[in-house]
Amino acid sequence: MPAASDGIALRTAASFSGSGREGSTTARMIPAMSGLARPELLATTEWLAENLGHSAIRVLDLRWRPDGSAPDVHAAGHIPGAVLVDWRRELVEDGADGETIVLAGPERVAEFAARSGIADGTTVVVYDDTQGLFASRAWWSLGAYGFDAVRILDGGYPDWVAEGREVSNARVPPASTGFTLRGPNRARLTTSDVRGLLGSPEVTLIDARAPAEYLGFEGNTKRLGHIPGALNVPVGATSEPGHQRLRDGAALRDMLHRANVTRGRRMVCYDGSGISAAKLAFVLTLLGHEDVAVYDGGWAEWGNRLDLPVDR
């Protein structure tokens, strides 16, 4: 039986599972004029195809399924050399209550890195088929332990297949390397950390959930609403409608501007389970925000605590 926290992950992924795209087989480039301050955090399908097989590149398949069928999905076809990752088991701590999902400790992350062949000096490319949600969680999890050489495949596996690129069903044997863990660092915040930041003029809290949840009309916690002072930037709006790809930089900046997100502050992202929050953190970093964190535990923890303030 899946844990209760798997339910919120499933609902999050289901909200962004559309994978339609144009019929073009040309790889989408990410030019400097796209307005992205850090385009190197995205991998195009063309770049990955050219670099497959390079000894310093590791590819991770984050196509997670709550019913445990991800190994079958992976075996039916994946990007050549990709290692299947069960982020819910390998990158999340055991014993979380209810729908609360928190980052795994250093020992578990070290085991995951060794099995996946992630070593100092390697570049990791992560992909999924849910608009980068689970890939972003892996990006953030590794970054929280000091490993920053991670790219997310823009368009994910659906774009890779639609472009007619090579697919494999070969099993990738476990590796036995690892990187030097440092952290968790400033990218991860706990409930007590966030509570201590309330009202700070140097911090912007951003709620990545849908407006109905933010406003307290929907939800699964004891109390509904949002953390006081939080702005609302629904993460679903960061991708092109009906596609796996991110919107271009100008559209993303306009979205943040309309939500009153400004530069020069520390950005703290949260959602119900830390999945959408991780993607929003990725988008903010991509756009050049330099101090971005995820509230680990998120609304699943805050909304169930009767001692914490809530706004609607």
Residue 308, classified by CB atoms within 10 Å of its CB into exposed (0-12), middle (13-18) or buried (19+), is middle
Whole-number pLDDT of residue 242: 87
* Residues 120 and 196 placed together within one structural domain of the fold: no
Q: Structurally, how many domains does the chain consist of?
A: 2
| Cα gap 171→3, rounded to integer Å | 28
- pLDDT for 110-168, tens place per residue? 999 999 999 999 999 999 999 999 999 999 999 999 999 999 999 999 999 999 999 99
| Cα gap 42→10, rounded to integer Å | 24
* Residues 156 and 232 placed together within one structural domain of the fold: no
* Residues 12 and 155 placed together within one structural domain of the fold: yes
* Residues 286 and 202 placed together within one structural domain of the fold: yes
Q: Is pLDDT above 80 for 98?
A: no
Q: Is pLDDT above 70 for 7?
A: no
CA dihedral 106, 188, 9, 76 (to 10 degrees): -50
Contact 306, 243 (CB under 8 A): no
* Residues 81 and 192 placed together within one structural domain of the fold: no
Whole-number pLDDT of residue 194: 98
Domain around 72: 4-20+37-162
CATH number at 242 reads 3.40.250.10
- pLDDT for 36-72, tens place per residue? 999 999 999 999 999 998 989 999 999 999 999 999 9
Q: Is residue 174 part of a domain?
A: no
Whole-number pLDDT of residue 236: 95
Share above pLDDT 90 across residues of the chain, in percent, rounded to a whole number: 81
* Residues 153 and 192 placed together within one structural domain of the fold: no
* Across 14-18, 33-37, 252-256, least confident range: 14-18
* Residues 137 and 222 placed together within one structural domain of the fold: no
3-state secondary structure of 197: helix
Rounded mean pLDDT, 261-282? 96
Q: Is residue 179 part of a domain?
A: no
| Cα gap 275→133, rounded to integer Å | 6
Give the Cα-Cα-Cα angle 244, 250, 251 (nearest 5 degrees): 50
Name which of 123, 110, 125, 129 is nearest 65 in CA terms: 129
Name which of 111, 127, 119, 122 is nearest 74 in CA terms: 127
* Residues 66 and 199 placed together within one structural domain of the fold: no
